[in-house]
Amino acid sequence: MSDYRRYFVPGSMIYLTVVTYGRRPILTTDHGRCFLRNAIKKIQRRFPFTLFATCLLPDHWHLIMQLPSGDANYSVRIKRIKEEFTIKWRASGLPEAEVTKAQRRKGERGIWQPRAWEHTIVDEKDLERCVDYIHWNPRKHGLVARIQDWKWSSFHRFVNEGQYEQNWGGEEPSHIQGNGPWGE
């Protein structure tokens, strides 16, 4: 059995990648966006956190979650968001992917891959690198020619706050190139 070790730091910022089961492109559909947005809001009320940066792609979601001081439990938040999304998806009669008998016995559904990839942000430089990667991701996957054209990203908020120029991302930033630890 796998031994997953997580690094829990109260009040930390966590970079996460959450992937759909079988990489099904369901997240940027009207239903997918609505269910995820509502799940985030619902879970934030019960388990507060700030969604610092985010980018929703068809088959995966990148985010940076800021936890409250004294709280290190990002995994329960992601688990509950995925659960809430799945409840709404299934209640709407939308299709899920086939899972194995063993997965069904464990209660797994054909909506999300189990777990999420995580990285605890260690300093300002690491935060900048993670935020840039999140916002560059639609371009990396060939979904847009210009970062500003991807609707489902916090990039636009960062532009409004003066963190980026509107035309940022003409070239891949050198500090995110290569096969970094991005969880894809």
CATH number at residue 21: 3.30.70.1290
Is residue 2's pLDDT more than 60? no
Share of the chain above pLDDT 90, in %: 76
Q: Is residue 80 part of a domain?
A: yes
Q: Which residues contact 52 (CB under 8 A, 6 or more apart)?
A: 13, 63, 64, 65, 66, 131, 154
Range of the domain at 165: 13-176
Query: CA-CA distance, 149 to 64, in Å (whole number)?
Result: 21
Q: Is residue 54 part of a domain?
A: yes
Residue 18 sits at φ, ψ, to 5 deg, of: -120, 130
Q: Is residue 122 part of a domain?
A: yes
Query: CA-CA distance, 77 to 48, in Å (whole number)?
Result: 9
Whose tokens are 């560059």? That residue is 136
Question: Do the beta carbons of residue 131 and residue 64 sit within 8 Å?
Answer: yes
Is residue 32's pLDDT more than 50? yes
Count of the separate structural domains present in the chain: 1
What does the pLDDT look like over 78-119, one tens digit per residue? 999 999 999 999 999 999 988 888 888 888 889 999 889 999
Q: Is residue 100 part of a domain?
A: yes
CA nearest to 19, candidates 172, 136, 123, 137: 137
Helix (H, G, I), strand (E, B) or coil at 16: strand
Query: CA-CA distance, 129 to 80, in Å (whole number)?
Result: 27
Question: Do the beta carbons of residue 25 and residue 94 sit within 8 Å?
Answer: no
Residue 142 Cα distances to 15, 78, 89, 147, angstroms: 22, 27, 27, 10
Torsion angle in degrees (nearest 10) through CA of 106, 43, 63, 57: 70
- Give the residue-averaged pLDDT of 62-72: 94
Q: Is residue 183 part of a domain?
A: no
pLDDT of residue 181: 64
Question: Do the beta carbons of residue 44 and residue 138 sit within 8 Å?
Answer: no
Is residue 47's pLDDT more than 70? yes
Question: What does pTM read for this prediction?
Answer: 0.90
Q: Is residue 182 part of a domain?
A: no
Query: CA-CA distance, 60 to 82, in Å (whole number)?
Result: 12
